[in-house]
Structure 1
């Protein structure tokens, strides 16, 4: 029986934040789902997995390949993510051995899929979904409400102490900031922390944020993105949820990334006006059309 709902990929982009550094973002999609994974910049003393540029890029690639193969309209995403994380754990520990938790690779995840009863969002970490309904209303979904504001607050403390992001373009080069970041990273995916992400901790799947995505009037347009592109809304205030999706539809994702890089590299390269930990972040997004068959009862489903 055909699915009453359909996801159609309209546009995609992934762009490294800095030339010469690995892009630690990935995106993927199949007939039933689309997703973005944003690898968290490593805080360890060395890289353990060869061939990807960084351990963060490896875990994002590892997850993307397996989600593309296994995620469909019927399987429980928690079961799939739990199994993938267990595989990743075994692979990483076999190579790296015992390492401090701050050195464990992880990434945020934002995803949409069709189900037999509608559309479903799920995610971990600070990547997000912007949704523009055909009727003009918009929605914003993020697994960690307030994540962008909290990071801006912490980045502002770093900027105030050092007078800017720094010559390397990353706050990790400052010993005190690195120590603070490591302390917070070590608490991720533990009962003592507040943040659950995708990586080598299978139990994180139990904390997966899952939300039904209602579509009224026959359809909507969705933008799944890493926190890099989300800065156009959360940090630079150039758009709101609805106008960001509309701009992606009208101008294309490449134009939005160019606009983001203008803010980062030309208007505020040292983070004095718009506090952040990196001058430029890896940026990845998928623009999707969500459509419902005309005779489907799901056309009138609402929050």
Structure 2
């Protein structure tokens, strides 16, 4: 009875490849943001981060198709399955392995399930109950000294890149352990740290799943509110959001006004619009 429409867009930022992934099925959407690995730091996986996020996303979109599988269990299983794909060729028992943030939703009957791990953002428009955002910013609470140094500009210089590498080196030691922060990497137990929940589909007017490169117009730059971001997605689509983000980034190319780790990050947005027949939810007519 629900009409769920999904539109997506993804754009590569500064870097050799887009390390984001977005996948959609008739009942689910998965958005991943791979953690960048500076070239001067070791990496225990020969495949690299883009490969990892594609494999993890594929496993997740397949697993959440079974509505009886809780989303945390789907993430736990997906991490294990990706481990099986490359444990023979890669060194997975160290800190230097690919990792990714996760945000996903699933339609399950009259319910929308969601899961968020790390700093991707889920934005839910719940009509009269307002806008709800779900994210996990624990990564910003660790390595404060190194993070402040890495945010000092100008971006694009060798000195700035060295400070970012120093931050990543410290973050790796704090990744997926108590007192640190949690992402999807090689430890299936990270799934237990994800934020999960469910809302009635009759409440949901629209939703957005965003990597931090696509949410920065609101939570980093303050150029839009969450309501305005959803309006932009509804009226012009995800590509317009990413284009607007790039224009703002280019207005501050070296991170003087808005300090950041690189001029432009990979950015991915999935926009979801949920409608019901007017006979079931008369207020829904306002969306058309």
Compute the displacement of 1:256 (Å): 1.5
Equivalent residues, number? 280
Cα distance change, pair 156–145 in 1 and its aligned pair in 2 (3 A):
closer
List, as ranges, runs of 4+ consecutive aligned residues in structure 1 with deviation greater than 4 Å: 145-156, 292-297
**Residue in 2 that maps onto 1:255:** 240
**Residue in 2 that maps onto 1:277:** 261
CA deviation map 1:177-223 (0-9, x unaligned): 42232111222112242x2111211111122210223455x641111
Which one of the candidate residues 157, 163, 168 is aligned to 1:167? Answer: 157
* Pairing of 1:37-52 with structure 2 (within 5 A): 37-43=32-38, 44-46=41-43, 48-50=45-47
Which one of the candidate residues 3, 12, 36 is aligned to 1:16? Answer: 12
CA–CA distance in 2 between the matches of 1:120 and 1:153? 37
| Residues 105 and 113 in structure 2, CA contact (< 8 A), matched pair in contact too | yes
Which one of the candidate residues 145, 149, 155 is aligned to 1:157? Answer: 149
Decide which moves more: 40-49 or 199-208.
Answer: 40-49
Compute the displacement of 1:164 (Å): 1.4
* Pairing of 1:94-243 with structure 2 (within 5 A): 94-97=88-91, 100-101=94-95, 103-135=96-128, 137-142=130-135, 144-145=136-137, 155-160=147-152, 163-167=153-157, 171=160, 173-174=161-162, 176-193=163-180, 195-214=181-200, 219-243=204-228
CA–CA distance in 2 between the matches of 1:247 and 1:152? 34
- Unpaired runs of 5+ residues, structure 1, are none
CA deviation map 1:124-175 (0-9, x unaligned): 1111112234458322111x14767989996553344xx412336x94x31x
* 1:68 to 2:49 alignment: no
Compute the displacement of 1:291 (Å): 3.2
- Unpaired runs of 5+ residues, structure 2, are 284-288
CA–CA distance in 2 between the matches of 1:98 and 1:198? 13
TM-score, normalising length from structure 2? Answer: 0.85
